[in-house]
Every structure is written in structure tokens, then in C-alpha cells.
Amino acid sequence: MGDGPLIVQSDKTILLEVDHPQATEARHEIAAFAELERAPEHVHTYRLTPLGLWNARAAGLDAEQVLDTLLRFSRYPVPHALLIDVEETMSRYGRLRLEKDPVHGLVLRSDDFPVLEEVHRAKKIVPMLGPRIDPQTTVVHSSQRGALKQALLKLGWPAEDRAGYVDGTPHPIALTETVTAAPGTDAAGGTHDGGGSPASSAGAGGGWSLRPYQRVAAENFWAGGSGVVVLPCGAGKTLVGAAAMAQSSTTTLILVTNTVSARQWRDELLKRTTLTEDEIGEYSGAVKEVKPVTIATYQVLTAKRGGLYPHLELLDANDWGLIVYDEVHLLPAPIFRMTADLQARRRLGLTATLVREDGREGEVFSLIGPKRYDAPWKDIEAQGYIAPADCIEVRVDLPRDERMAYAMAEEADKYRLCAASESKTDVVERLVAKHDDEQLLVIGQFLDQLAEIGERIGAPVITGATSVKERQRLFDAFRAGEERRLVVSKVANFSIDLPEASVAIQVSGSFGSRQEEAQRLGRLLRPKADGRGARFYALVARDTLDADFAAKRQRFLAEQGYAYRILDAGEIA
């Protein structure tokens, strides 16, 4: 028996003792293949899942490395059955391969005859297959490439897609990098999701270079052909996209969450690549341009008219050589369905977290591609590329009348009652006074709560009803320091770049959404010109659903090494 920080159990759970001297090292290594389930103060619980192990395998980890990590850090002997199970699960990835055959076109191959035989006897898969060429090879209808990968994943045999990609229409794209990067001085974070410090974000004037991890992420993606790159907010995912575009040098379709994000992508590409304004089109609710590089919003593509999606044909209407999915963890169902038919095109997914609250991570894996690169947040912070963050949960008590209303409320109304408590507004005022000299965001879910807070602290409120032009004006004023405070709804969760924001106060959220928590902290992680860290306050009502949901939301950040300090509202001066 050792004295390591892990207890590995036969039910595929892994317990991590948080206070152990090796806890940080162990957390870092197991995060590559295990998912955090619970993160209370002293012992965190991870779980081994087939999808987590297959993603690790696709990203280059083999079973030997996973088993070595478990054995090295485990306090007690690792159950033998679990070791065998991990090895066998990981060996399932790639036993089936989709390949291009010069005579028969798309084929499914396996060196393991019984596996192919099992697949041939699965009722849902048979209609996707053509004739058997030999004991190891079966023809696949090319239109079924995506659907087959989904079905095989559900069957427990994830296929490795080696069938290659169409080249797409050539279009010259090059990066304009000119200098060697160094932490804290480069501009390769960009202004959108980038983390470039003001001292360095002069772009073309000051010179810039891809950061080492951005280069590796782009290379890993290109070597794999399609897949997902996971980087913290503020670490420059946009630049990974730009590097992939330069490698491809073809027409490119970029899918983003909203119009503000689309314009930030456009500005970043103009600054960091040889693309000109005439080569970049916007396809949104306001503008419908199709150019060699087209940036489209998920909303416009999934807008229905007469029961149909008239704009989805954009995905397949041009001979795109590359499709980039920004914030891939948010992909709407219609985009998934269309992506199933786009398997011959290279696909790059970008995200800060692969967590999906609807459990559709398997569809990201099978349709966009497996995880090709994943950098722990704390690693990027240690390199000086994102700001250190202090996470604080401030617990408030509901006043007696609110407590009684909560106790008597219908289940559907309980969360709103506790999350939008008047007592939180009082705490917001005190926190705003405490951080009077800093750029500050208040983020929440409920519009009436946000309107009241905006009035009380004298700050503009940005919601879904705020026009794109007004949003951009207010964000620009905030970046310039003309507005010191903004109150924002969930419209600011994603792809909004506010590099000088150093304090965020979260008053309410989307129930137990882990990815929302990660995105909200991410608003603060761009490095500051003066080297300051960030403060992220989460206001939580005691003994209510608010507290339950807060514990769930914090799981992803706990996995990344962010611990929440607990303060009582009375301790806020």
C-alpha cells in the first residue's frame, strides 16, 4: 500500500484527497481521462467512463499511461478487474476503421473479424452498410458516414475515421505572426477569447506569434483531421481556429453563438491573418453575405420557417474546406443533424469545456470528432497566459417573509424565489463599493432582478432585448474604461471579450449548469495590464435549491483546480 492521494474503486469511481501534497499533480493527470462528479471540501469523486477513455485514446493517451497514473497515485491496490476493464475499453477505439478504398469508396474495416460480424448483426446498423468485400471489409454508403459513427459509438465500438476529407475550394490564408512568443508579452491571445495583454495587443504594429500550446493544438487537430480543441476562456481559441484556417487555405465556414461574437471573430481574423474585409462575410439575422470565409450564427441557421430550416443549406451549399464550430458544447440539435451529412469536410470544434448538460457529448465525439487537445486551466495560468482567479461563494440568508414564500411555493417557482432574493441585491451594493476602483460585471438570469440591481448601482443593463449596436457600444465603453460597471444577462456568457474586467458578481444562473459557470469565470481570465488577479463572487441563498445548484455548477471549475472560499454575507464590509 502506498500513501498516494487517490483511492481507485471497483465501481469505476476515483476518490481524490484534496489536501494531499500530490493532489494537484494527480488531479492534472486523471483529468485527461476521468470526469469529476462531486467536489465537496476534502474529497473529490471522479468517474471513469467509456467516452472519457475513448477521448483520451484519440488524444494520444494509451491504456498503459492511464493505468500507470492510477497505480502511481493510488493509496491502495487498484482492483485488478478495473485495470483489465480500462485496457479493454480503450482498446475498443479504432478496432473499427472508416477508410477510403480506391475501388469501393467508403469502407468499414477491422482486423478483428468477430467485431465486424457483431456490427453486421446490429439491426440499426445493417441499413447503413453495403456488401461485404471480404471478412475484414464492408462497403459503407457514403451518405451514412456520420450516422454510422453515431450508431457504432452507441454499440460500444467507436470507429476511427481515416476516410479523409475533400479539399474544398482553395483560398489563400496566412497568419501574420512576426515575433517569438513569450508569456505576458505576446499578442497571440487576440482580443476575442484571447488574453492578449494591452501592452502587446497592438497586433500588426507590435508583432505577435502563436503561443506554444496554440501551435500544438492546431497541429494536433490537423494531424487528426477533425475534432475538438479544449482551451480555457481567455487562452486564445480563436487563434487556434485561425491557425487551422491557414493550414487549410480553403474556403471556411465559422459557426458562432451570436452576432457580437461574429464581429469579434471578423476583427481578429483581419488583425491576425492576411484576410481582407472583402473576403469575410457575415451570415446573421442582420446580414446575409456568403464569401470565401463566412461567419454564421447558430441562431440564423436554426431559424425555422414553415417547419423547415431554410438557412441550414448554407452548411452544404458551398465547397467548404473547413468548418469551425465555436463554443461547440452549445451546438443545437439541427446543427448536429446537418453535421452528420458533412463528414467529408474537416471540422474543428472549439470550447472551454466539453460538458453538455443534455448528455450529448457522444454526438460531439462522433460527429465533430474526438478531443484532439485539452489544456488544464491552471497549466495555462501557471504559464502566465491567463489571470489567476479567486473564487468566492457568498452565502446569504433569505429574509423571513421570503423564506416563508419559498417554503410554500410550487416546485417550479422555488429557484426563482431564492435566486432573485432581495438580500442578494444588498450584498451586490456592498461588493460594488468594496471594488469601486475596478472594472466590474454583475451577471444573472432573471431580468427583473438585473433591472433592479442596475438601478441600485447606477449601471447599464444588457439583455437579449438590447440591440446588437447598443451592446457593442456599451462593451466598447467598458473596454475603454468609460463604463466601470455593467449588469449583464446570459447574453454575456459566451464569446464576449472584456479584457479589463477583474471582478464578476454572479447573482443567479441556469440551474446547475457547469459550462455556464466556467464561461462566466472565463469573462475575467484575460491577463490584466497591471498583472492583477480576478475575483469571481457567486451569491448563493442558504438552505435552498440555489445552494444545491451552486454545488453542481462548481464541479467543472473544481476539476480545473479552482477552489471556492465560503464567506457569510455579513463578512462583506
pLDDT tens profile 102-119 = 999 999 999 998 999 999
What letters, b where the CB count within 10 A reaches 16 and e where it falls short, cover 439-477?
bbbbbbbeeebbebbbeebebbbbbeebeeeebeebbee
Cell of 92: 475498443
Mean pLDDT score across all residues of the chain: 87
CA distances from 366 to 157, 159, 521 (A): 11, 8, 29
Cell of 336: 448536429
Residue written as cell 464567506?
567
Q: Is the pLDDT of residue 187 over 60?
A: no
The Cα-based distances of 369 to 82, 218, 266, 320, 491 in angstroms read 27, 14, 25, 17, 27
The residue-averaged pLDDT of 466-489 equals: 89
pLDDT the model gives residue 555 = 73
Residues contacting residue 180 through CB under 8 Å, at least 6 positions apart: 209
Tell me the domain boundaries of the chain.
6-92, 97-161, 212-381, 387-571
Work out whether strand 43-48 and strand 34-38 pair parallel, antiparallel, or are unpaired: antiparallel
pLDDT at 205: 43
Nearest to 537 by CA among 514, 555, 561, 521: 521
pLDDT tens digits for range 259-288: 888 998 999 999 999 999 999 999 988 889
**Strand 389-396 relative to strand 564-568: parallel, antiparallel, unpaired?**
parallel
Query: 212-381, superfamily in CATH?
Result: P-loop containing nucleotide triphosphate hydrolases (3.40.50.300)
Q: Could you tell me which residue, 187 or 246, shows the higher pLDDT?
A: 246
Pairing of strands 13-17, 43-48: antiparallel
Q: What phi-psi label fits residue 56: left (phi over 0), alpha (psi between -120 and 50 degrees) or beta?
A: alpha
DSSP string for residues in 17-82: ETTSTTHHHHHHHHTTTEEEEE--SSEEEEEE-HHHHHHHHHTT--HHHHHHHHHHHBSSPPPHHH
The type of residue at 224 is: G
How many Å apart are CA 53 and CA 33, to the nearest integer?
Answer: 5
Alpha-carbon dihedral sign for residues 108, 111, 113, 118: negative
Average pLDDT of the residues in 165-173: 95
Q: Confirm if 526 and 535 have CB atoms less than 8 A apart.
A: no
pLDDT of residue 338: 86
Q: Which residue in this structure is represented by grid cell 485527461?
A: 32
Q: What is the helix (H) or strand (E) element at residue 118, kind and residue range?
A: helix 113-120
Task: Specify the fold of 387-571.
Answer: Rossmann fold (3.40.50)
* Higher-pLDDT residue of 196, 97: 97
Contact 438, 502 (CB under 8 A): yes
